[in-house]
Amino acid sequence: MLEKLKSAALNAQKNAYAPYSKFRVGAALEANDGNVYFGCNVENAAYPLGQCAEATAIGTMIAQGASAIKQIVIASPTETFCYPCGGCRQKIAEFAEASTPVVMITPEGNSTETTVGELLPEGFTLTPQD
């Protein structure tokens, strides 16, 4: 499944709308329904109105009826890993367990893995997590 997610994130990245930053990001997640949902960043001339790739993938997951993230992959356009921003860390945490894997990849195939809990210790949740 991880290879499928990596491929989906890289493919979504190609569709990113990033005319301002030129920083095209893709994300793909495996949901609790077994399906893969993906998204890309979508920038806007009114800067705060843009959307990150992770948020796009999560929104698609929810719109299709799934409710939890089993794992997520984020594709960077450069050799530097693209970790989720603070807002996306919280958005991911809303639908994932602290132990959920978060994998960052580069175009050259390098990767690093962490967890939601490591990225967002003491994040806001509906119920407290141990």
The residues carrying an active-site annotation are 54
The reply to whether 47 sits in an annotated binding site is: yes
According to the annotation, is 17 in a ligand binding site? no
To the question of whether residue 32 is assigned a binding role by annotation, the answer is no
44 annotated as a binding-site residue:
yes
Would you say 110 is a known binding-site residue? no
Q: Which distant-in-sequence residues (6+ apart) come within 8 Å of 109 by Cβ? A: none
List beta partners, residue 13. none
Q: Is 52 annotated as a binding residue?
A: yes
For residues 64 and 34, give the distance between their C-alpha atoms in angstroms, rounded to a whole number.
Answer: 12
Neighbour-count burial of 82, counting CB atoms closer than 10 A to its CB (0-12 exposed, 13-18 middle, 19+ buried): buried
Place of tokens 């299709």: 64
Which residues participate in the annotated binding site for Zn(2+)? 52, 85, 88
Which residues participate in the annotated binding site for substrate? 41-47
Which residues participate in the annotated binding site? 41-47, 52, 85, 88
